[in-house]
Amino acid sequence: MCDKQQQESETDRINVIFLCDEWRSSRGGISTFNREFAIYVAKFWSSIVNVYCYVPESSDQDREDARNNNVNLVTAERVPGSTDPVDRLKIPPSGVRVDVVVSHGRKFGVAAYFIAHSTRCKWIQCVHVDCEDLGKHKKEAEGVKDTIEDNENKHESELELCKAAHMVICVGRMLREKYASLLPEINVEFLTPGIFEHFSPSKCYSLRENSANLKEFKVFVFGRLQIEDLKVKGLDIIGKAVASLEMKFKLICVGSPAGKQKKLQKWFRKKQIITREKLTIRRYRDHDEVIEMFKEADLVVLPSRVEGFGLIALEAISAGIPVLVSSDSVSDKENAGVEKLVIKSKKVSSGNQLDRTPLGEVPNIKRKHEKETGQSPDQVPKAAKRLRSRKAVCTLCPSIIKEKQPAWCDTGEEPVQVKNK
């Protein structure tokens, strides 16, 4: 009798499959977003949802880590004659009933279309960036003559995928407003990622009380440091800001592609007039390495001209590190409470300087942070958790498949329905 009830319970569960290029985070923010999204859905809805991550490749360590987070990691079979690993995701996983497929961006949206078409499941498409805005600031890359035209084409592809999906989820309110106006017949929602429990101050960071006596003050910038994206990410702004300060201020940029660190150093030296002694370029780092680097960070800066509030900012907030963002990177409306947890710089249209108050003197960092946020840095993670806890799982409601109301985890959120098309 118990076995029968267990089988019926398994049948009633909703199988949600996230399409990912990897389980770990060696390829940037999308990998992190997809993994964390899957983990939180599994954590809060384990009684009614089975969560799968469908990946082209995985290791024993990946599968074990996924199991520890109640996520089933499924490895796709190789497609004969194809050199693109994402092609493997176009074929539905064998032995798994697919109720909902969740994809992210153009890269995985096409694969989700094939799965939704062949299994007749529901399809949720995630969007995290406004390609049209990015094109205005990007530098021409190799093989791209016009970045504005190139990003307009990317935007149109993204829009076409969204029109074919049953539901669209945008990261942040501002992006949701744009896509809601472009897709009046589609259910467009937004989510706001929460903080990361594994980036706790005890693991990553404790503000040094004797900061006035430090010989060095380290300013960190994280991101995928492609040459064509440096202006978009505002690296020229922070480069000039740190260059104008005294020698004890050091700029550490993390996220260089393999074999490009010297080229990036030359870009900074030529464009921003910053000395080698004040600049360090590091390659892209994985989750565990970022935790180690947070231990040496005095400030994390996100000077992006157009990109929204990034995952690295949430990680830094989770770790209790002061975060400085540009007013272009996140508006008060977009922030929805996180403005209480960060220090925003002055809007700088020329891109020549940052508000130097938090950078001007090392002892002022803590006082500036407490003045702006109304709380000491060690209170930040708790405040962030109150503001953003569980937000990431509130949008993807299991009722999109069956008329079943989940037990909400004190979120105060209403379930979101996917409209039948």
Cα 253 to Cα 223: distance, rounded to the nearest angstrom = 8
CA distance to 47, 207, 220, 337, per residue, from 201 (Å): 31, 9, 17, 20
User: 162 with 234, same domain?
Assistant: no
CB 273 within 8 A of CB 240: yes
H-assigned helices in 244-339? 261-272, 287-294, 311-319, 332-335
CATH number at residue 281: 3.40.50.2000
User: 286 with 143, same domain?
Assistant: no
| Residue 288 within a domain | yes
User: 60 with 111, same domain?
Assistant: yes
Predicted pLDDT of residue 386? 47
Last residue of a domain, one of 322, 343, 364: 343
| Residue 177 within a domain | yes
User: 228 with 173, same domain?
Assistant: no
| Residue 82 within a domain | yes
Q: Report the predicted TM-score, pTM, of the whole model to 2 decimal places.
A: 0.66
CA distance to 87, 174, 209, 375, per residue, from 56 (Å): 8, 32, 47, 44
| Residue 391 within a domain | no
* Token duo for residue 55: 């990946």
* CB atoms near residue 50 (< 10 Å): 19
* Token duo for residue 331: 């508006």
Q: Which amino acid is at 201?
A: P
User: 207 with 182, same domain?
Assistant: no
Last residue of a domain, one of 343, 363, 378: 343
User: 240 with 280, same domain?
Assistant: yes
| Residue 7 within a domain | no
Mean pLDDT, each 10-residue run in order, the chain (421 residues): 50 90 78 86 88 95 94 95 93 94 93 96 92 70 72 90 94 86 90 66 50 72 80 82 84 89 88 84 84 84 72 77 68 40 40 36 44 52 45 33 31 41 50
| Residue 354 within a domain | no
User: 209 with 334, same domain?
Assistant: yes
Nearby residues of 367 by Cβ (< 8 Å), 6 or more positions away: none
Rounded to 10 degrees, the C-alpha dihedral 400/116/154/170 comes to: 10
Predicted pLDDT of residue 236? 84
* CB atoms near residue 156 (< 10 Å): 12
User: 39 with 158, same domain?
Assistant: yes
Cα 372 to Cα 190: distance, rounded to the nearest angstrom = 27
User: 231 with 146, same domain?
Assistant: no
Predicted pLDDT of residue 275? 86
| Residue 355 within a domain | no
User: 50 with 182, same domain?
Assistant: yes
User: 162 with 23, same domain?
Assistant: yes
CB 101 within 8 A of CB 19: yes
CB 80 within 8 A of CB 94: no
Q: Are strands 299-302 and 217-222 parallel, antiparallel or unpaired?
A: parallel
Last residue of a domain, one of 157, 174, 191: 191
Predicted pLDDT of residue 378? 55
| Residue 243 within a domain | yes
Cα 220 to Cα 416: distance, rounded to the nearest angstrom = 38
Q: Which amino acid is at 168?
A: V
How many structural domains is the chain composed of? Answer: 2
Nearby residues of 299 by Cβ (< 8 Å), 6 or more positions away: 217, 218, 219, 220, 321, 322, 323, 324, 358, 359, 365
Q: Residue 303: give the domain boundaries.
A: 198-343
Residue 110 phi, psi (nearest 5)? -65, -45
User: 160 with 291, same domain?
Assistant: no
* Token duo for residue 342: 């960060």
326: nearest Cα among 344, 308, 306: 344
Question: Which string of DSSP letters, residue by residue, matches 212-255?
Answer: GG-S-EEEEEES---GGGTTTTTHHHHHHHHHTS-TTEEEEEEE
- Residue 336, Ramachandran bin (φ over 0: left; ψ between -120 and 50: alpha; else beta): left
In Å, the largest CA–CA distance within the chain is 75
Cα 361 to Cα 249: distance, rounded to the nearest angstrom = 10
